Structure 1
């Protein structure tokens, strides 16, 4: 490894600019110490948390252009493999940090199965080193309104334990939203479900608000999807609608308390963007679409009105939220955002096809959002290709080679993810465009 030290300092600085705002799990002091401990000349990196950060930034930062696309991908994969080997060898806060970063890296690289496996390891680490027990003890002494992570920016060193645990729960809950199985390996999950409806949290801190939605507010959605898959609503459509109605209003509570803009004019005249504000809004609306997907279609070609209208409104609200932020801020966002946009865009295409309707301007907004996130994340580029193939089928009325599962409303985006990925991989030559490998070839 012959990279200059200044280059690694730049990549770490970019982490705090590009990724830390939506995944605030790192201590600048720790990474700075790890950088200062690097040997001269650079022959190895001892700190696997630093390796994880470098691996992600190496793969996706524009500062890695100089290495070439294949060069930076090879180096990123090399560092990633070292991180996994070293972090798996111990159960610690450092391991949790590193594996969480690699899980995000893999998710953005369109490797959801690896992300799920890594998140299960994160859960096990949290259990083994007592973080879940610490969280449960803390929650039992708090009122429902107090449940959640501390305010962002107030934790360093060992004090990162609580926000890091909450961040792990949040990433796990959002990345698995839409699955029909439910992992109840930790008692903390049931407790989070129990406070979802009685909590009126102080959401003045945007990170706390987003984590509260992800880790707590989504638990009833997970529970409903699991119970629906188990057949508990087979003869109870009205009961399913009533359950969804309660969940829907709870999700909308998170939207109502959001400020009107994700941008703030600072005292020095600079404009600050807070990604957690727009992520909370978009995640709430995307969750509505996922929640109602199993209830939209009625007999034959009919649709149930309330699930349909709420899902369509959610798509419009997502598009409106996208219009409120810049392309650069879309590009430098979490890869989980592209999946939320894919959920909305896929729903619109299914309804266009079902109702023989023309595409609307809001659909173009959704596609533009996915395109912008695709400048950074391979997952979004694959989603973009799939959606464009579906657009051709909707516009022409001709059947395409797109897997039939794409058009099945009751199958979630996770259910069809691997099928669609295989479909794209089989057709890379005919579908090839520069965007498949990102803008930095």
Structure 2
């Protein structure tokens, strides 16, 4: 970066920050591959590090420059061995780089732009800015579509020289295996972030009843009938509606149908987890010491909880009609205990360096002391974890207080909400002056 003497005498501008010293950039890139790459493996290490030592092409003119900016934005607030910036300055420069990356990527469609935005999403999720995070993921999905990455993955590169029938292809076929692999990883990381970060979310489900006059597509069997046959069926009947239709939680038939589907999905997940390939993978490596396997395991458990949590307890006011579903309760508790085992076996160093997408999973286990400790350790890096740790600290302090008198949002105590459902309410609560969560 700019010389240390000038940094303290005047304000350094964002444009001057582009002139990173080779040592500083090397430090931050090494930090990325050491502490972030294990759970976010979208870049090829040797190729990127080689670019930092390529004196033939100025770094600002390199196609990888936007990727370097994203790496600096993510790593600078926490690690920089060769630069004396204060913590506040690092945060400011990180925010500047983040904004530069987004604006540059929007105006320049390329694989490197997509990679840079994917990297930047880590900042927003780790800070608990989930709305901003989802906006960036939506941008990533659109960029991946425009670049034709899904087509590449589906076609296995066999027909990339033929006319595209799936989507516009803005990239020429990959010329190297590394380039091909980076495209594949960019596509799947986008899909993983989109699905994993919203797993279990039931936005507005249970908050208001479905519109009575709403129409949903019918299922394919009914749709295949001739016109005269269709007249005998009502497309609005739940028996013939498609997967687009919703469940009425107050209806005994709908709840039974929902329970049946949950059990079917649960059995499919268990079959996958118990398959020979998965079992061998999990047995070859200590799960708690491998970032990817930790994510696989806790995501599996989160999926189980997401399946059952809204059916475990009856809807408000309908307890006498339906009663609790004890099978669902037991499956949720079993998944919580499994995650607790994984968190307990994970070292402090790994917890501190773990992906921010683990934070919601740590927020789930029923062992409260373990949960608080895990969040406190993750909070060494992620503000999001510190926020949820504060939530639990207040909940523990108010445990003998009536829910109506609690300072926490009332949604926190409603077990039919997922963590994602109540996140916005908790974020607003955490921004109150008396809470004062230090960044």
Structure 2-normalised TM-score?
0.73
Cα RMSD after superposing both structures:
3.2
Q: Distance in 1 between matches of 2:430 and 2:243?
A: 32
The alpha-carbon distance between structure 1 residues 131 and 378, as it changes in their structure 2 partners (threshold 3 A), is: same
Counterparts of 1:29-40 in structure 2 under 5 Å? 29-37=46-54
Q: Is the 8 A contact 2:28 2:72 kept in 1?
A: yes
Unaligned runs of 5+ in 1: 142-153, 183-225, 265-271, 349-361
Offset at residue 365 of structure 1 (A): 1.6
Higher helix share: 1
Q: Distance in 2 between matches of 1:75 and 1:173?
A: 30
Q: Is the 8 A contact 2:201 2:421 kept in 1?
A: yes
Matched residue, 1:295: 311
- Are 2:433 and 1:415 aligned? no
The alpha-carbon distance between structure 1 residues 159 and 262, as it changes in their structure 2 partners (threshold 3 A), is: closer
Match among 249, 255, 259 for residue 282 of structure 2: 259
- Are 2:300 and 1:284 aligned? yes
Unaligned runs of 5+ in 2: 3-19, 160-175, 205-241
Q: How many residues align?
A: 355
The alpha-carbon distance between structure 1 residues 42 and 49, as it changes in their structure 2 partners (threshold 3 A), is: closer
Counterparts of 1:53-72 in structure 2 under 5 Å? 53-61=71-79, 63=81, 66-72=84-90
Q: Distance in 2 between matches of 1:248 and 1:64?
A: 50
The alpha-carbon distance between structure 1 residues 393 and 247, as it changes in their structure 2 partners (threshold 3 A), is: farther
Offset at residue 120 of structure 1 (A): 0.7
Q: Distance in 1 between matches of 2:135 and 2:435?
A: 30
- SS of corresponding position for 2:144: helix
Match among 173, 191, 194 for residue 169 of structure 1: 191
Counterparts of 1:157-306 in structure 2 under 5 Å? 157-180=179-202, 230-231=246-247, 235=251, 236-256=254-274, 257=279, 259-260=282-283, 262-263=285-286, 273-298=289-314, 299-300=318-319, 302-306=323-327
Match among 41, 53, 56 for residue 24 of structure 1: 41
Matched residue, 1:405: 411
Match among 354, 357, 364 for residue 333 of structure 1: 354
Identify the range of structure 1 (60-69 vs 48-57) with the bigger mean alpha-carbon deviation: 60-69
Q: Distance in 2 between matches of 1:38 and 1:18?
A: 27
- SS of corresponding position for 2:37: coil
Match among 121, 124, 127 for residue 109 of structure 1: 127
Offset at residue 341 of structure 1 (A): 1.6
Q: Distance in 1 between matches of 2:335 and 2:158?
A: 35
Offset at residue 382 of structure 1 (A): 0.7
For residues 300-345 of structure 1, the C-alpha deviation after alignment (integer angstroms, 9 at most, x for no partner) is 4953201111111111110001122201001101100001222x14
Q: Distance in 2 between matches of 1:38 and 1:229?
A: 59
**Based on CA coordinates, which of the two structures has the bigger radius of gyration?**
2
Q: Distance in 1 between matches of 2:245 and 2:196?
A: 19
Structure having greater relative contact order (Cα 8 Å, sep ≥ 6): 1
Counterparts of 1:113-132 in structure 2 under 5 Å? 113-132=131-150
- Are 2:435 and 1:431 aligned? yes
Offset at residue 22 of structure 1 (A): 0.8
Q: Distance in 2 between matches of 1:62 and 1:36?
A: 18
The alpha-carbon distance between structure 1 residues 12 and 240, as it changes in their structure 2 partners (threshold 3 A), is: same
Q: Distance in 2 between matches of 1:240 and 1:65?
A: 57
Structure 1-normalised TM-score?
0.72
- SS of corresponding position for 2:39: coil
- SS of corresponding position for 1:59: coil
